[in-house]
Amino acid sequence: MATVTVTTLEGSIVDDTNQGTPVSRNASVVHSSVTSCHTMTPSLAGSFLASRSRKAVSAEDESRMPPTFSLATVLWLSLLSGVNLVIVIPTADDYVHRLGGDELFGGLMIGAVPLLAMFGIGFNQLLLRQGLSLKTVLLLMSVGTVLGNVLYAVAGLTKSMWTLLAARCVIGLCNGSNLSSMYIGLTVGMRRRSEVTFYFLALNTLGYALGPALAAVLEVFVKSVHVNNLVLDSDTAPGWFMAIIYLLYMAQVLLVFEDLPAELTGSEPLGTNVATDERPPMLATCAAFWDLCMASAVNTTAEVYVVKIGQRYWGWSIVTSALFLAALMLCASISSAVVGSLTTRFMTSDRTGLLVGSLLGCAACAPLFHFDLHAVSAQAALLGVGLVLVLSLVNLIRAFALAASSKIVPASLKNSMNSWATVFMTLGRGAGAIIGSVLSPLSFAPVVLGMLGVTVLASVASHSRMKPSDKAS
């Protein structure tokens, strides 16, 4: 008879919760439930209380957050990675031509960072699996980035364009671009992971805005102090500046970052030693990876194309083109943060966000087409509006895809999934730099629209499969 009473009371609790009855009534029901536990057998009472305890722990786990300063440290790395990639874009063409390179080599030099970052991801994952702590890997990656930026700054002394490429390759290998997303996936609960991912990507996009702006500031500073030699000029100043910034970042990691257990950060490669029922869903995984690659490619394509069209077609200076790009990326960053905050409140499904974002992205490509306007101001205004809309939406797609990629797999595969997601983002970054360097006003819009069109097809095809795994955490 006690068993019947408890079953009824449990049903009452569920009904009261669904109907939103007053707290006083709920409290009396819970009190009755506890009283009835005294009439149960010990095993039934223990099972009843353990079930409630598991529900409470599960809810707490879904809402968990890491230490604030540690989270801020990895988010700061996301911003620095963005700055380090694009700070050289406004001066890259001049630097490369001075050392004997051409337009395509300039695009390759910019794209070398994300392309080599793919190998860097495998390298730092190997270090983590060998037992090194996340804090140690962060410091090692920062040391390598400092050395790469110093090599970039002294490339003028060697008078070889290959020194530039080697420097950017070192920066890419030590980029550590997957460590931020890995930390978020491991420490932030599922309930707030999409929200934190939006902040992570908004800061990354803000870095893409700060990079060109800093390049313009450094250009003005170097000319104002009348320094122009092989060691320090407007071309080499970004390398010296980023080396100093990463030294400061190393101090931040040492002082405030709280390390994670080595057994948590070490993981096996995706798909190895995994039970069949724990393997990632193939269609959903491929769609998420394409979304990440596409969004990153569109970002870099736009950045390189804007600087190219400003300096080559509109006759702008390095400072003017850099500030124009910085303004565009800043607007896109702010828009991404606002849109991300709203969508995480009103759109709880990642797959719906991917589909809606890709459809709106296609529509936003309209201003990017070449309308043969004669005034440079009109061309710049139309391109600027179109790019802010498109970049805001592709950043939305990237955030939803990154959040979904860690939810569609079991908890045992989350670390590896984050690493592969970063690989595809860096692949898109590298490809975008090369694509942007060869596009013209006639081909830019069709290429961007084509990438977004494929994203729509991928979102439709994978919609029914893009569901959180029952074993996700």
**Each residue's pLDDT tens digit, 371-391:** 888 899 999 999 999 999 999
Full-model pTM: 0.68
- Residues 392 and 361: their CA atoms lie apart, in Å, by 9
In one-letter notation, the amino acid at residue 407 is K
The predicted pLDDT at position 291 comes to 92
Q: Would you say 174 and 81 are in contact if contact means Cβ atoms under 8 Å apart?
A: no
Q: Which of 109-123, 269-283, 330-344, 414-428 has the lowest mean pLDDT?
A: 269-283
Tell me what the mean pLDDT of segment 246-250 comes to.
95
- Residues 30 and 462: their CA atoms lie apart, in Å, by 43
**pLDDT of 155-166, one tens digit each?**
888 888 899 999
What's the gap between Cα 9 and its chain centre?
47
User: For the chain, first and last CA: distance in Å?
Assistant: 38
Q: How confident is the model at residue 266 (pLDDT cuts 50, 70, 90)?
A: low
Residue 275's φ and ψ, nearest 5 degrees, are -65, 155
The predicted pLDDT at position 37 comes to 42
Q: How confident is the model at residue 62 (pLDDT cuts 50, 70, 90)?
A: low
The predicted pLDDT at position 48 comes to 40
**pLDDT of 9-40, one tens digit each?**
333 333 343 334 444 434 443 344 444 444 44
Q: Tabulate helix, strand, coil % of the chain (nearest 5).
A: 80, 0, 20
**pLDDT of 102-134, one tens digit each?**
777 888 888 888 888 888 888 888 888 888 889
Say whether pLDDT at 363 is over 90.
yes
**pLDDT of 151-195, one tens digit each?**
999 988 888 889 999 999 999 999 887 788 888 878 888 777 777
The closest of 295, 400, 294 to 351, measured between CA atoms, is 400
The predicted pLDDT at position 171 comes to 93
Q: Which residues contact 227 (CB under 8 A, 6 or more apart)?
A: 233
State both tokens at 416.
Answer: 């590896």
Q: Which of 180-184, 230-234, 324-328 has the lowest mean pLDDT?
A: 230-234
Helices (H) and strands (E) in the chain, counts: 19, 0
Q: Work out the widest C-alpha separation in the chain, in whole angstroms.
A: 92
Tokens 């798909």: give the residue: 271
Q: Which residues contact 224 (CB under 8 A, 6 or more apart)?
A: none
The closest of 107, 473, 112, 31 to 305, measured between CA atoms, is 107
- Residues 98 and 152: their CA atoms lie apart, in Å, by 14
The closest of 377, 391, 291 to 339, measured between CA atoms, is 391
State both tokens at 346.
Answer: 């009103």
Q: Which residues contact 263 (CB under 8 A, 6 or more apart)?
A: none
Tokens 């790395």: give the residue: 77
138 burial (CB, 10 Å; 0-12 / 13-18 / 19+) is buried
State both tokens at 185.
Answer: 């996936």
- The whole-chain average pLDDT of the chain stands at 79
**pLDDT of 70-81, one tens digit each?**
999 999 998 998
State both tokens at 437.
Answer: 């360097």
- Higher-confidence position of 332 and 367: 367
The predicted pLDDT at position 26 comes to 43
The predicted pLDDT at position 470 comes to 65
The closest of 294, 307, 304, 310 to 434, measured between CA atoms, is 304
Q: How far is CA 75 from CA 65, 86, 184, in A?
A: 14, 18, 9
The predicted pLDDT at position 346 comes to 67
User: Would you say the C-alpha torsion 272, 275, 278, 280 has a positive or negative sign?
Assistant: positive
Highest mean pLDDT among 215-224, 352-361, 439-448, 457-466: 439-448
- Residues 175 and 141: their CA atoms lie apart, in Å, by 6
Q: State the number of CA atoms in the 13 A half-sphere of 311 facing the CB.
A: 21
Q: Which residues contact 351 (CB under 8 A, 6 or more apart)?
A: 400, 404, 459, 462, 463, 466, 467
Q: Which of 57-66, 78-87, 120-129, 254-263 has the lowest mean pLDDT?
A: 57-66
Say whether pLDDT at 286 is over 80.
yes
State both tokens at 351.
Answer: 């797959």
Cβ neighbour number for residue 127 with a 10 Å cutoff: 18
Q: Which residues contact 155 (CB under 8 A, 6 or more apart)?
A: 95, 99, 161, 163, 164, 167, 236
- Residues 174 and 242: their CA atoms lie apart, in Å, by 13
- Higher-confidence position of 90 and 471: 90
The predicted pLDDT at position 230 comes to 65
